Every structure is written in structure tokens, then in C-alpha cells.
Chains A and B, each alone.
Chain A
Amino acid sequence: MYRGSEGQWAFYLHRISGIGILVFLVLHVLNIASAMWGPEVSNAFMKFYHQPVFQLGLLVLIAGVLYHGFNGLRIILMDFTTWGVRYQRQLWYGVWVLFVVFYLPFLVKIGGGILGGSHGD
């Protein structure tokens, strides 16, 4: 049906990013909820997650959220307009334009933090 072109990539990336976001959500809720056990426990988790490797992971996560969100809007346009399916490829390029615009501030801020050796303490 998709013959390995843009539509297929759009689909697989949507799936992979969705699964990735759900995995993050589990860790994120556990991390934030640890505040109920007080500052010692909570700050130990925070310090652990402030390691550069997790900041890098966060950059990947944010990319996933932005892609999944904008591609989701593309899916909705395909579902509810008469022209969406016909222009699905052009819409997908539009997704990437939005992605770049929104991702840059995060990349600069978080990437700059990693390169600048920011570890929180």
C-alpha cells in the first residue's frame, strides 16, 4: 500500500516515537512521584537523571514528542478533510518544517547545557 515511501516512514516513526514516549512517561511519573517520599529520596533520583546520558535521552524524547504530535495533526487532517490523503506527502514535509522550528530552541538550550558541562551541581 505504501511501497516503502514517505507514508511508510511516517507510520513507523509514529509508532516508535509513541512507544518511546510511553516508556518515558512511566519513568517520569515514578521520578516526580518520588517527591512524596521527601527531599532525600527525590533529589537522589533527580541527581541520577541529571547525568549527561539522560539529557541526551531527553533530547531524543522531545524530538519524539514533537514528531508524534505534528504527525498526529497530519493524520487528523487526512481523516477529516477531503484533500488530506491526496496531499499526505506534502503534509509530511510540513510536519518536518514545524518539527525543526519547534525543536531548535530545545536543541540549543539542552544541547548547550550538555556541551557546557551542566550537571546541576
Chain B
Amino acid sequence: MAIKSKRYQEARLEASTNLELYWWVFMRVSGVVLVFLLIGHMWMNAVLVDLNSIDYDYVAKRLSQTTWKVYDWLILALALLHGGNGLRYVLDDWVRDPAKRFWTKVVIYSLLAFLFFLGSLSLFNYDYGVN
């Protein structure tokens, strides 16, 4: 079960498995990193430019630069793991029926895995023809 403790020492005691404790730590570490990555991401694409001017050319140019490939892929990977695990906590709270909970998780994890695959392809396995 998800850890509810508000203190690291208590979380260690409450953790049912080591894996659950690792997830608890991961949520905090990835969270801090994501705060900075996302504020930068939103600032660059919504404040520094008019977001209505964003089109294929803008995306193709950005996704062709190594800096943004790495930057965006970090967001993609961390956000999907952070969001997927967060949703797992929510489902454990809200979906009481074990069978329903299991299948909801199967569908959602599959969707998130597909998104990770699709996002990674668009970052690393497609040539937008921009130099």
C-alpha cells in the first residue's frame, strides 16, 4: 500500500516493502527536478513566445536540437513515472474493488507505456529535416 507518512523516518517504518519506500523517495526527488524543468518549459513556450504562433516548424526546430531532446525526454520520463505512481496512490484510495482496480491499472499503465514509447520516438527516432 501507498505510504501516508509525512516524515522520512515514519515512512521507512510504514513502508510495506523496500520498493514502496523507493517510490516514496522517487516522488520527492523527481518532484523537485520537475518543478524546475516545467517552469522553464512553460516559460520558454508560453511567455517568451506567443503560444498561438507554435506550429509544425516551431516543433520540428525544437525537437531537432540535442538540448531540447534531452530536456524534453527528461520531462517525459520523470512526468510519466511521477504521474503514473501518483495515479496508483489515487486508485488505491478510490477504487475499492480489487478486480476493477487491477484492470484500471493495467489499462492506465499500458497507455502511459505507449505514450513513453511514442514520445521517445518523436524525440530520438525521427528526422524533421531541420539543421
- Against B, the Cβ 8 Å flags (1 = close, 0 = not) of A63-102 are 0011001101101101110000100000000000000001
Residue of A whose beta carbon sits closest to that of B42: A62
Across the interface, B31 reaches (CB within 8 A) one of A76, A113, A120, namely A76
- Contact present for A58 and B115 (CB under 8 Å): no
In the complex, chain B residues whose CB is within 8 Å of the CB of A65: 38, 42
In the complex, chain B residues whose CB is within 8 Å of the CB of A38: 56
Known interface pairs A35-B122, A50-B52, A113-B51; A29-B86 also in contact (CB < 8 Å): no
Across the interface, B50 reaches (CB within 8 A) one of A32, A70, A113, namely A113
A9 located at the interface, meaning its Cβ lies under 8 Å from any Cβ of chain B in the complex: no
9 intermolecular pairs with C-beta atoms under 8 Å apart:
A29-B115, A50-B52, A72-B28, A73-B31, A79-B8, A102-B39, A109-B50, A120-B53, A120-B54
Interface, chain A (partner B; CB < 8 A):
15, 18-19, 21-22, 25-26, 29-30, 32-33, 35-36, 38-39, 42-43, 46, 50, 55, 58, 62, 65-66, 69-70, 72-73, 75-76, 78-80, 85, 102, 105-106, 109-110, 113, 118-120
Interface, chain B (partner A; CB < 8 A):
6-8, 11, 28, 31-32, 34-35, 38-39, 42-43, 46-47, 50-57, 59-60, 63, 76, 79-80, 83-84, 86-87, 90, 111, 115, 118-119, 121-122, 126, 128
